[in-house]
Amino acid sequence: MPKEFRTEYYLLEGMLDGGLDFVGSYLNKKVGHVVIITDAVGKVHYPDMSGTSSKVDDVFIDIPDEFSESIFYHPTNKRLYYIIQHNAKSIAYVIVENISPEVTSQTTTVLAQSQLALKYHFSLRNKKMDDFGQSMWEHFFLTAGASIPDKLKLYEQNMDVNNYYFVSILEVEEGSPDLDLNLLRSYLYETMHRNRSEYISSIIAPGRLVTILRGEPKGGPMDIDPDWPGREMADATKESIENKFSINISLGMGRVYLPSGLFKSYQEANIALALPRLMGKKQFIQSFSQLGVFTALFSLDTETLRNYCLQVLGRVIEHDEKHGTDFLATLRILLDNACSWTTTANQMYVHVNTVYYRMFKVEQLLNVDFSLFETRLHLFTAIRAWDTLQICKLLD
């Protein structure tokens, strides 16, 4: 049996018993330079930095884009990068610090011996993460009545069915089209972990991260405990992420539930994102429990809320659908503009008399007096609720 072959299996067996530290220590000794092992997005897994006081950015290493083969030497920072691939995808990197180009060839021979062990470690780790994320998505967020899957323990997640959790949705508003959501997810995990938050898992969805966190309820309401460490750090976390990735984000947070109620928390987090946007807000952090009267309104079951909206607005909605009119849109824009007829007319590119006429028809259809403040408030609330139901696809 060739020596290289024996070494590969020696490292594999050692890693199974001693973890990634076994492989990293072996390479350090053999290479004679500092060795760093990262995952595909550059997060350092060896040496273990989880217990250090270093900043979040220090836990990540920028990976060059110049890879054309399995190795790359960067003459400026004197680093040797060795790529670990699985199914034609990069899953990890071994980085050797402060090395001269003359010894890169022999160093690469040593690094190659770790390929099997590292491929096994990171491919298994990625599979667990992907499987658990898919399981969470299917069992908690796609169906309301799903039971708790036994996979929670299988995937080694620290999620207890007797504890309380909530869903937070991070949504990208503006940013680079090349944003790596896997890197963003990893950075978010490290940030939350260092803020002493019990981060469970993040699931990547188009343009957003759906994250599950531990949060104890405070008293009667299902709000997040004000003493939850991550809450006071939410603004700092948001600013850190925006600066790191040159993006603008918003965060919506649902209330806390047992794991069987995560679907409800997910819906609430969606509402906490959608409703402020309807009111023109950007780059915000919003808890569902702090939406004022809308918290009470959206705590109703969807069918009851839908019926409420139709009782208030149904005749206008039906008239628009039947005759192709814009009565509901006019009412919405007028209320958004603090009932300024001229501003509404200019925004809709119509004469102000057209706005007066449409509102006259709305008053007739709904049998209301639009000059009354309580009427305007009632209509505003119903429109906001109706629009939010549509945006969150709760009417399907």
> Residue 59 belongs to a domain with what CATH number?
3.30.450.40
Regarding whether 53 and 7 lie in a shared domain, the answer is: yes
Regarding whether 249 and 326 lie in a shared domain, the answer is: no
Asked, for residue 17, whether it belongs to a domain, the answer is: yes
Provide the token pair at 148: 């708790």
For residue 81, what pLDDT is reported? 92
Asked, for residue 134, whether it belongs to a domain, the answer is: no
Asked, for residue 93, whether it belongs to a domain, the answer is: yes
Regarding whether 339 and 256 lie in a shared domain, the answer is: no
Regarding whether 185 and 111 lie in a shared domain, the answer is: no
Determine the Cα angle at 369 with ends 376 and 395, to 5°: 50
Provide the token pair at 264: 């409800």
**146, 140 in Cβ contact below 8 A?**
yes
For residue 133, what pLDDT is reported? 64
Number of domains in the chain: 3
Regarding whether 176 and 247 lie in a shared domain, the answer is: yes
Provide the token pair at 294: 């809308």
Regarding whether 278 and 326 lie in a shared domain, the answer is: no
Could you list the residue range(s) of the whole structural domain that residue 281 is in?
158-298
Regarding whether 361 and 254 lie in a shared domain, the answer is: no
For residue 154, what pLDDT is reported? 42
Asked, for residue 261, whether it belongs to a domain, the answer is: yes
Segments of the chain scoring below 50 in pLDDT: 1, 145-156, 221, 226-229
Q: What is the pTM of this model?
A: 0.78
CA-nearest of 384, 380, 325, 322 to 357 is: 325
Domain boundary among 124, 146, 179: 124
Asked, for residue 142, whether it belongs to a domain, the answer is: no
Regarding whether 88 and 62 lie in a shared domain, the answer is: yes
Regarding whether 369 and 249 lie in a shared domain, the answer is: no
Asked, for residue 196, whether it belongs to a domain, the answer is: yes
Regarding whether 7 and 119 lie in a shared domain, the answer is: yes
**164, 200 in Cβ contact below 8 A?**
no
Domain boundary among 242, 273, 298: 298
Any residues with CB less than 8 A from the CB of 258 and at least 6 apart, and which? 161, 162, 163, 164, 165
CA-nearest of 347, 327, 335 to 375 is: 335
Regarding whether 94 and 51 lie in a shared domain, the answer is: yes
Regarding whether 226 and 188 lie in a shared domain, the answer is: yes
CATH number of residue 244's parent domain: 3.30.70.270
Instruction: Please identify which residue in the block is written with the tokens 């890197």.
Output: 183
Among left, alpha and beta (phi > 0; psi -120 to 50; other), residue 207 is left
Domain boundary among 252, 268, 298: 298
Asked, for residue 74, whether it belongs to a domain, the answer is: yes
CATH number of residue 344's parent domain: 1.10.10.2840
For residue 377, what pLDDT is reported? 94
Asked, for residue 88, whether it belongs to a domain, the answer is: yes
